[in-house]
Amino acid sequence: MRPSTAPSRIPLPPLAIGTALLLLVSLVGGVGLGAAGIGWAEVFRFLWAGLTGGTVHTDDVAAYTIVWEIRLPRVVLGAVVGAGLAAVGVAVQAMVRNALADPFVLGISSGAAVGANAVILLGAFAGLGIWALSGAAFASALAAMVLVYAAARSPHGLTPLRLVLTGTALAYGFEAVTTVMVFGAARGEAARSALMWLLGSLGGATWAQVPLVAVTVAAGWAWLRWRAESLNALAMGDETSAALGVRPASLRRELFLVTAAVTGTVVAVSGAIGFVGLMVPHVVRMLVGADHRRVLAVAPLAGAVLLVWADVLSRLLLAPAELPVGVITAVVGVPAFLLLMRRGGYAFGGR
C-alpha cells in the first residue's frame, strides 16, 4: 500500500545506519562540549566509570558530576525529545493532510504551557515538589487534549479541517491565558523562566525524567510504524483510504490520541520546542520518499541529532548563560529548510 509517488532517492539501510552512527557521535559530542572545560580523555573516563560502576578519584567528583549527572541526562533527554517530535510530526502531517502541520497544531503544547506557567509564576502544585512543573504541564496537556477532541468531534468523526481549526483556535485561547499570567507575574525572574520554558529548554533534565519519556516515545513510534501502511493510505485522502480498507475516521482518532500523549509527555519535560516536528519529516521525505514505513525509520534519528546539536549551541553561544533551544532550532532550521526546499523541488507527499 505505497503512495503513488516518485521512487525513493537514497537506499534506506545505509541512510538509517549512517544517521544512527551520527546520533551516537552527537551524544558523545553533546556530553563533551560545555561551558565547563573538561578534557575529552576525562569525559570518556567518566562515562566508562558511570557505565561500569567504576570508582572516581575524590578530586574528580565535581567534573564527574557535571558529565554524568548534568550533561549526559540532558543529552539523552534531548535525543528522546527530538525523536518524539519528529515522529509525531510525521503522524500529524498525515493525519491532517497539511504540509504546515507540526506536533503543536493540535493545541496540546499551548495547553501544557498553562499548567507549567501556573507553577512557575503562581507557585501552583507546590506539593508535587520536583515533579510540580512536569506534572502540571502534562495534566494541562491532557486537559487540552480532551477539550480539542470534544470540540473537534463531529458526527463524521475527526475531519482534518475541523481538527486543525479547533486546535489552532484553542491554542490562541491557551496562549492568552499564559500571557495574562506572565504579565501578572510579580517577579521579573519568574517571567524570564516562563519565557524560557515557552521557547523550550532542556536545562532541568534529570535521569528521573528519562525513562517515562523514553518509554512513551518508543511506544508511540512503534505504534506509528505498525500503522505506517495505513498512514500511506490516509495521506492520499479519505476516499482513497476507505477504498483501500482503512477507516479514516477511526484511524484519525487513534492518531490523535497517540500524538497527543507523546506531545504532552515531551512538552512536559522540555517546553515548547518548535520547528523540529515541521522540518524533519519534510527533509527525510526528500531523502527517502513518501512511504511512511521508510520515513518513520529515519525521522526519529534525524530529529534526535538535530535537537542534540541545537541544545549544544544553546549552551555554548552565550556561555555561561543559555539560550532557549527553540530559538536555535528556528534560527538554524529555517534557512536550511528553505535551501533544501528550493534545491529539491519538493512537494508534500512526493518529491
Alpha-carbon distance 324 to 111, whole Å? Answer: 19
**Nearest Cα residue to 221 out of 39, 68, 31, 90:** 90
Predicted pLDDT at 89: 92
Reported as a single tens digit per residue, the pLDDT across 80-124 is 999 999 999 999 888 888 777 787 878 888 888 888 888 877 777
Which whole number is the average pLDDT over 278-293?
Answer: 89
Residue type, 220: G
Alpha-carbon distance 188 to 194, whole Å? Answer: 10
Residues 6+ apart with CB under 8 A from 259: 88, 91, 92, 95, 103, 106, 220
Measured between its terminal Cα atoms, the distance across the chain in Å is 18
| Cell numbers found for residue 211 | 525513562
Which whole number is the average pLDDT over 202-215?
Answer: 89
**Nearest Cα residue to 2 out of 282, 288, 281, 280:** 288
Highest average pLDDT, of 135-139, 225-229, 345-349, comes from 225-229
Give the Å distances, CA to CA, from 48 to 53, 104, 200, 289: 8, 38, 30, 39
Predicted pLDDT at 226: 94
**Nearest Cα residue to 304 out of 108, 103, 76:** 76
3-class DSSP state of 154: strand
Q: How confident is the model at residue 129 (pLDDT cuts 50, 70, 90)?
A: low
- Burial environment of residue 55 by CB neighbours within 10 A (0 to 12, 13 to 18, 19 or more): exposed
Least confident range from 149-153, 183-187, 258-262: namely 183-187
Helix and strand element counts for the chain (H, E): 15, 0
CB atoms within 10 A of CB 247: 15
Reported as a single tens digit per residue, the pLDDT across 226-265 is 999 999 988 887 787 888 788 888 888 888 889 888 988 8
Q: How confident is the model at residue 1 (pLDDT cuts 50, 70, 90)?
A: very low
**Nearest Cα residue to 303 out of 5, 26, 6, 35:** 26
Structure letter (DSSP) for residue 321? S
Q: How confident is the model at residue 38 (pLDDT cuts 50, 70, 90)?
A: confident
Predicted pLDDT at 3: 47
**Whether residue 103 has a cis bond before it, omega within 30° of 0:** no
Q: How confident is the model at residue 75 (pLDDT cuts 50, 70, 90)?
A: very high
What percent of the chain stands above pLDDT 90?
Answer: 26
Which whole number is the average pLDDT over 5-24?
Answer: 81
